Structure 1
Amino acid sequence: MADTMQFDLVSPERRLASLQASAVQIPGTEGDMTAMPDHAATITTLRPGILRAETAQGASEYVVTGGFAEIGAEGITVLAEKAIPVDEMTKAHLDELVAGARAAHEQAEKANGDHNLVADAAKLLADMEALGDHMSL
C-alpha cells in the first residue's frame, strides 16, 4: 500500500492544491468520507463543507460549496463549484455564499415547481448557515 496519493483541488477561478496527501476528508452529499491511498474507485458529489487534506507538512483545509470528487488509481481530483482556503475565508465570503443560497431558495419557492428543487435549495441554505456556525463566522 502506498503512503500517499496525488490530490488536486480545482475551482473555476483557480487551482488551489496539487500535492501528495495521506488522506482527504470529503464532505459528500451522501455523507462525509475519507479517501486514502488505494481507495476503491469512486465518484461523489460534494455538499457545502470543509474539505481537509492530510499531508507530511500538516493539514490543508478548504471551504467547498459543491462539485464532484473523483477517487481513482492515480489519486483524488476535486472539481469544486467554489473553493476557498479556510485561512482566507472571511465573514464577507460567508455572507456572499449564504446570500446566494438564500436567493436560490426564494427563487425555487416562487417558481412553484418541483418540490425536490425547493427542498434542495433549502438544504443548500441550511448547509451554508451551518458552515458559518462551524467556522464561528
Structure 2
Amino acid sequence: MAETMQFDLVSPERRLMQEEVVSVQIPGADGDMTAMPNHAPLITTLRPGVLVVETQKGTQEFVVTGGFAELGEGLSVLAERALPKADVDQETYETLVEEAEAEYRKAKEVFVNEPGPVDDAAKLLADMVAVGTHIGLSTRQPNL
C-alpha cells in the first residue's frame, strides 16, 4: 500500500477535495512539480493549469487559475478558482480566457511604462490559453 498525505483543495466558493492522496502534480508559477508524502516543506504560487491528484482509488484532475500551495506534513491548495476538469466545457474555458484577457488589457492601461506587471499579466493569459490545449479543447486565441 502506497504512503499517503492529507490533501485539501479549496477555492473561495467551496472545498473541492479533502482526502488522503498518494501525490499531487502542481502547476507552479516557477514550473510544474509533484508533491508526495515526506516532501520538503515549501510554499509556491500557482499558475493557470491542471492540478492532477492521485489517490489510492484513482486520479482526479482540476483546472486552477492561480493561487497558492503550501506543503508541510500535508498539502493545502488555496486556488483563486478551481473546477473539476470534467466541468470545464468549451464555453467555460472561453470565459476563463476572456477574464484573463481583460486583466491583461487592464494591466496595459494601468501600468503604461512598467513592463513587469504587463508581462506578468501576458504570461497568465498565455498560461490560461495553454490550458485549453492541455485539456483537449479548442484553444481561444486572445485578441491583443
TM-score (norm 2): 0.90
Cα distance, 1:84 vs structure 2 = 0.2
Number of residues of Structure 1 aligned to a counterpart in Structure 2: 135
Deviation at 1:107, TM superposition (A): 1.3
AA aligned opposite 1:115: P
1:17-68: CA deviations, max 9, x gaps?
0011011110000111001001111100000000011101100100000000
Hey, what's the Cα distance between the residues in 2 that align with 1:103 and 1:121? 10
Show the 5 A alignment for 1:1-137. 3-73=3-73, 75-111=74-110, 112-137=112-137
Question: Tell me, which stretches of 5 or more residues in structure 1 are unaligned?
Answer: none
Superposed CA RMSD: 1.1
SS at structure 2 position matched to 1:50: strand
1:113 positional shift = 4.1
Q: Deviation digits for residues 66-95 of structure 1, max 9, x if unmatched?
A: 00000002x100000000001111111111
The runs of 4+ residues in structure 1 deviating greater than 6 Å are none
Q: Secondary structure of the residue that 1:39 maps to in structure 2?
A: coil
| Alpha-carbon distance in 2 for matches of 1:42, 1:113 | 34
C-alpha separation in 2, matches of 1:15 and 1:114: 37
Q: State the alpha-carbon separation in 2 of the partners of residues 119 and 26 from structure 1.
A: 22
Aligned residue for 2:18, secondary structure, equals strand
> Partners of 1:129 and 1:13 in 2: how far apart?
23
Tell me the TM-score normalised to structure 1 length.
0.95
Q: Choose 61-70 or 100-109, whichever is displaced more.
A: 100-109
